[in-house]
Structure 1
Amino acid sequence: MPKTVEVPRPTPRAPSAQRVAWLLGPALVAGVAYLDPGNVASNMTAGARFGYLLVWVVVLGNVMAWLIQYLSAKLGIVTGRSLPENLGDRIRNPWARRAYWLQAELVAMATDIAEVIGGAVALQLLFGIPLLLGGLITGVVSTALLIVQSRRGARTFEFVVIGLIAVIALGFTFGVFLGPPDPAAVAGGLVPRFDGADSVLLAASILGATIMPHAIYAHSSLARDRFRPADASAPGIPIARLLRATRWDVSIAMLIAGTVNLCILLLAAANLAGVPGTDSLEGAYAALAQGIGPLVATLFAVGLLASGLASTAVGAYAGAEIMHGLLRVRVPLLARRLITLIPALVILGLGIDPTLALVLSQVVLSFGIPFALIPLVALTARRDLLGTHRNRWTTTAAGVAASVFLIALNAVLLWLVLGGG
């Protein structure tokens, strides 16, 4: 009995606070996908070309992202299996499973393209390094981050990524304080509307960059790795408590991501709208240096570099989980990293406009969203899978509404871009 009573507990509140803090982290790592170079390119281009027109898209995307990331984490926590693993168990036809894996893998590659290109552009802006060499450096550093994750565990990986998030947040928000937006114009941008096919293209790009398919796959895996039953570091924590902590985790992550993304668009809308050449990252960097000052431009480039390094590591993690869950195959880390780097390096080597490649990669991601989102909503609504933790009908309805909206936006995008308007 004495052993039961004398549990080490310095104060009644300390362990509780300590334990809650320990439960946070997976959403912050998954949330770095919402701060990748594709987000920067899409939001910067939207602000420079259309001013405050698409503020509502950033806000709406972040609200939907909160719901989606929470459902992904809940699936991993309650079932002890990631979304790809759950789908791999349920897609019986091997050809259907391979087809699903192929589209998910293409989405992961599109993610890698955005992140490696973003890191390469940042290195060129900061140090004058050629784009191709910068892409290689980004790939090598991101591989080192993955090695940290595989050898030192999820918690150490989380600390590294959270440190990079702090750099990203500083780099992309500092300029807004020196070149503040017009509050009335920001409020006007909350009214949903478009202005031609190009604005729809950018809206799809923003949503593809905000609601990232690979983040949906990755978050369920990150939550599983931290809280799976075999993990003795969290004995006896009830699932209900884990889910409550996860809601806080997701809320913090999405608040950070949403604020940074909105600041990027507002920075461009307030300071770059109508300025020639600012619809590219290089042009935006030059205009920021000339208009607000070199410090803002340098912090912007540093944020872009941290964004590319952190997000490409998370993207590669997601790609490995997709392959393992759907094909039950594990590819060596270095081999997989090399394969996913090739498309980005080819684009850089061919001299294709990096900003255009970033924006189009986000459109590809937007088309991959329904393939991740619809199964996620369906699985988390199942009593036989999640039991008492299944979705409420309102949650399922919100997930269905988000799916319908995203699919409709992509259909309109196809109609406008491919000849309908």
Structure 2
Amino acid sequence: MISTKDKKTDFHLSLPEVHSSIEVPEGAGFWKKLRAFAGPGLLVAVGYIDPGNWATDIEGGSRFGYTLLTVILISNLFAMLLQHLALKLGIATGRDLAQACRDYYSKPVSMILWVLAEIAIAATDLAEVIGSAIALNLLFGLPLPVGVFFTVFDVLIVLYFQQRGFRIIESIVAGLMGLILLCFMYEMIVSQPSVSAMAGGLIPKMEIVTNPGMLYIAIGILGATVMPHNLYLHSSIVQTRAFRRDDVGKKSAIKFATIDSTASLALAFFINGSILVLAAAAFHNNGHFEVADITDAYHLLDPILGVSLASICFALALLASGQSSTLTGTLAGQIVMEGFLRIRLKPWMRRLITRAIAIVPALIVSMIYGERGTAELLVFSQVILSLQLSFAVVPLVFFTSSKTIMGSFANSSVLKILSWTVSLIIMGLNAYLLFVTLI
């Protein structure tokens, strides 16, 4: 897999000058520095609550109650570890994951990794297209094909805000994530879930492994939670901060970026957990065990909970989820293409290409098969993401474990063991998910 040419010796010599845009105040206190580093974590976190997560969380809650809440927790802990490695790679080397792969691996291997990364981004965009179209249908009654077509116009919105600076994008994403958070806080209040049952759901149970149906959904939740494109994205956008490039400055940057990332992913855990808890409280506890579709969940919420705003908040959060994920998907696409190929496409062209790849299958399926077909396509997009994950995780763990590449910031022995263990678990579970899906 590694090139026959030894690239380890010149890895750092090829580093470009990092053009940072947000100043980190020297000699400032803890909170001022944290505020300077805050932002990239939120952009990463929205990828963990995109519409692709909703279907698996809803099905898990409606079929098995609160039991699979522990799987969401474990998935988020995996995500926190992997995102820490991604930001550490970016800060310590000045290279994002795509650039590191291009520098270290042979050209054929780099091209394969690039293609796989592009497939993952297209699958992510497909989930965003379908989720946004479903939300528009639920909120405004737009037919699904029309909703899919309308998602083309978010290209113009993304481009407009990209030109106004990185902080603007971070602020928009923060606002959308805040809206999603408020919507699900309301849902938690009106659904009145059992606190003791939620606490019990956080404890791992052997039944999750021994019950084939539960295991299948558990792996689906894992595959929908940890996103490969987020590893490329985080390793790049963390470099938008202007910090000291010596070891002391890098160590401080890694600390504050990790706090930002971990806190943001904790919010993502609350939102993902809330979706499952809502499904458990509203559907499972009332005998609706087969709700596995976003549209069905929307139509059942108001009658079951007896409030008129539950379904509206649900659909509004879904729309905000799709739009926030669109912003980060665009950035990830640009980072991957420029990192692997050194090709700088104009943002509007890159966005249109990615969105066109997602719109075509979504439009065809929505026109021919309607709601049920788009729901199945949404699940299929998550299977694709699961298959691509290992090809981003393994290089990331390898690079961050190498002293030649990372210097004094290489993973410790304990972190190496933990990182490779998580990688093997992810690869094993995703291989099982593929096998079960095909068979």
TM, length-normalised to structure 1: 0.89
The residue number in structure 1 matching 2:226 is 211
CA deviation vs aligned residue, 1:304-360 (integer Å, no higher than 9, x gap): 001000102211211221111112212222222222223432323322422222222
Distance in 2 of aligned mates of 1:275 and 1:391? 47
Which residue identity is paired with 2:328?
A: V
Which residue identity is paired with 1:384?
A: T
Contact conserved, 1:146 with 1:317, CA < 8 A, in 2? Answer: no
The residue number in structure 2 matching 1:369 is 389
Counterpart pick for 1:260 among 263, 266, 271: 271
SS of equivalent residue, structure 1 residue 294: coil
Counterpart pick for 1:406 among 426, 433, 436: 426
Deviation at 1:146, TM superposition (A): 4.2
The answer to whether the aligner puts 1:296 opposite 2:316 as a matched pair is no
Deviation at 1:237, TM superposition (A): 7.8
Contact conserved, 1:77 with 1:227, CA < 8 A, in 2? Answer: no
Which residue identity is paired with 1:398?
A: L
SS of equivalent residue, structure 1 residue 238: helix
The residue number in structure 2 matching 1:350 is 365
Distance in 2 of aligned mates of 1:246 and 1:388? 18
Structure 1 window deviating more from structure 2 (139-148 vs 380-389): it is 139-148
Distance in 1 of aligned mates of 2:71 and 2:156? 33
The residue number in structure 2 matching 1:180 is 192
The answer to whether the aligner puts 1:154 opposite 2:172 as a matched pair is no
The residue number in structure 2 matching 1:132 is 145
SS of equivalent residue, structure 1 residue 275: coil
CA deviation vs aligned residue, 1:74-98 (integer Å, no higher than 9, x gap): 1111111110011011122x22221
The residue number in structure 2 matching 1:200 is 215
Q: CA RMSD, aligned part only?
A: 2.3
Change (3 A) 1:228 1:17: closer
Distance in 1 of aligned mates of 2:29 and 2:197? 46
SS of equivalent residue, structure 1 residue 331: coil
Distance in 2 of aligned mates of 1:102 and 1:14? 43
Change (3 A) 1:284 1:388: same
The residue number in structure 2 matching 1:8 is none
Which residue identity is paired with 1:191?
A: P
Distance in 1 of aligned mates of 2:381 and 2:364? 17
SS of equivalent residue, structure 2 residue 204: coil
- What is the correspondence of 1:57-206 to structure 2 with a 5 Å cutoff? 57-92=71-106, 94-149=107-162, 151-189=163-201, 190-192=203-205, 193-194=208-209, 196-206=211-221
Contact conserved, 1:43 with 1:261, CA < 8 A, in 2? Answer: yes
Distance in 2 of aligned mates of 1:228 and 1:320? 24
TM, length-normalised to structure 2: 0.86
Contact conserved, 1:53 with 1:194, CA < 8 A, in 2? Answer: no
Change (3 A) 1:208 1:415: closer
Distance in 1 of aligned mates of 2:269 and 2:291? 22
Number of positions where the alignment pairs a residue of Structure 1 with one of Structure 2: 402
Unaligned residue ranges in structure 2 (runs of 5+):
1-26
Contact conserved, 1:146 with 1:313, CA < 8 A, in 2? Answer: no
Contact conserved, 1:143 with 1:313, CA < 8 A, in 2? Answer: no
Deviation at 1:194, TM superposition (A): 4.0
Report runs of 4+ in structure 1 exceeding 6 Å deviation: 234-237
> Quick one: percent identity of the two aligned structures?
36
The residue number in structure 1 matching 2:3 is none
Counterpart pick for 1:315 among 329, 347, 370: 329
Distance in 1 of aligned mates of 2:51 and 2:210? 24
Unaligned residue ranges in structure 1 (runs of 5+):
1-12
Contact conserved, 1:47 with 1:267, CA < 8 A, in 2? Answer: yes
Distance in 1 of aligned mates of 2:73 and 2:218? 12
The residue number in structure 2 matching 1:5 is none
Distance in 1 of aligned mates of 2:103 and 2:409? 20
Contact conserved, 1:173 with 1:264, CA < 8 A, in 2? Answer: no
Contact conserved, 2:48 with 2:226, CA < 8 A, in 1? Answer: yes
The answer to whether the aligner puts 1:381 opposite 2:426 as a matched pair is no
The residue number in structure 2 matching 1:239 is 250
CA deviation vs aligned residue, 1:101-138 (integer Å, no higher than 9, x gap): 11111111000000111111111111111222222333
SS of equivalent residue, structure 1 residue 411: helix
Contact conserved, 1:286 with 1:297, CA < 8 A, in 2? Answer: yes
Deviation at 1:408, TM superposition (A): 1.2
Structure 1 window deviating more from structure 2 (407-416 vs 315-324): it is 407-416
Deviation at 1:42, TM superposition (A): 1.7
The answer to whether the aligner puts 1:222 opposite 2:237 as a matched pair is yes
SS of equivalent residue, structure 2 residue 343: coil
Change (3 A) 1:326 1:236: closer
Distance in 2 of aligned mates of 1:227 and 1:219? 16
The residue number in structure 1 matching 2:436 is 416
Contact conserved, 1:135 with 1:344, CA < 8 A, in 2? Answer: no
